[in-house]
C-alpha cells in the first residue's frame, strides 16, 4: 500500500482525510424494501457517512431531500407510485446538482444509459458482491469530496 493511503473500515485504501471528510457527508436512501434500505445504511455507515435518512417512496424522498439536502442520494429505480427516473427528474428540479447513485437489481443497458443521461453519478447492482459495492460506493463518495475541494 502507498504511504499516502489509509485503510477504510472495509479494508479498502483511500486518501488521507477522505474518511474524515466522509463523516461530514450525509445520505438519503430511497428504496421501497426495508431490508435494502438497512443494507445500504450499513454500507454507508461502514464507509464513514454519519447522517443517513431513509425513504420508502418518492413523496417521502422529496420531502426529506428538500429539508436536509443530503450530500448523496442512493436510490432504487423500481418503486411503486413513481419510478426512479421520475423521482430523479423531480430532485433535479429542486437541485440541479443533486448527486444520485442508482442502486438496483436492473442491469439493462438502456436503463443504465437513461440514468447516466439524467446525470446519475453512479450505478450499482444490488446483486454484486458486498466488497465490490462497498468499493464502488466509497470511490463515488470520494469523487464527491474531490469535486467539492476543486470548486
pLDDT of residue 7: 41
pLDDT of residue 9: 46
Instruction: Show pLDDT as tens, one digit a residue, over the chain (151 residues).
Output: 444 444 444 444 444 455 567 878 999 999 999 999 999 999 999 999 989 999 999 999 999 999 999 999 999 999 888 888 999 999 999 999 999 999 999 989 999 999 999 999 999 999 999 999 999 999 999 998 876 655 5
**Structural domains of the chain, with CATH:** 26-145 (3.40.50.2300)
**What span, in angstroms and rounded, lies between the C-alpha atoms of 79 and 57?**
7
Mention every residue, 6+ apart, whose C-beta is less than 8 A from residue 51.
25, 26, 27, 68, 70
Instruction: Show the cell assigned to 35.
Output: 431490508
DSSP 57-77: SHHHHHHHHHHH--SEEEE-S
pLDDT of residue 65: 96
Q: What predicted TM-score, i.e. pTM, was given to this entire model?
A: 0.84
Amino acid at each position: 500500500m502507498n504511504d499516502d493511503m489509509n485503510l477504510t473500515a472495509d479494508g479498502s485504501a483511500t486518501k488521507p482525510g477522505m474518511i474524515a471528510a466522509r463523516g461530514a457527508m450525509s445520505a438519503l436512501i430511497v428504496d421501497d424494501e426495508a431490508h435494502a434500505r438497512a443494507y445500504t445504511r450499513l454500507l454507508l455507515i461502514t464507509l464513514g457517512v454519519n447522517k443517513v435518512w431513509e425513504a420508502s417512496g418518492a413523496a417521502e424522498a422529496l420531502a426529506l431531500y428538500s429539508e436536509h439536502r443530503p450530500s448523496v442520494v442512493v436510490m432504487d429505480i423500481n418503486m411503486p407510485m413513481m419510478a426512479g427516473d421520475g423521482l430523479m427528474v423531480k430532485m433535479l428540479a429542486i437541485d440541479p446538482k443533486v448527486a444520485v447513485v442508482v442502486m438496483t437489481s436492473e442491469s439493462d443497458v438502456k436503463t443504465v444509459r437513461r440514468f447516466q443521461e439524467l446525470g446519475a453519478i453512479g450505478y450499482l447492482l444490488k446483486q454484486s458482491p458486498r466488497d465490490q459495492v462497498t468499493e464502488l460506493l466509497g470511490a463515488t463518495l470520494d469523487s464527491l469530496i474531490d469535486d467539492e475541494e476543486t470548486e
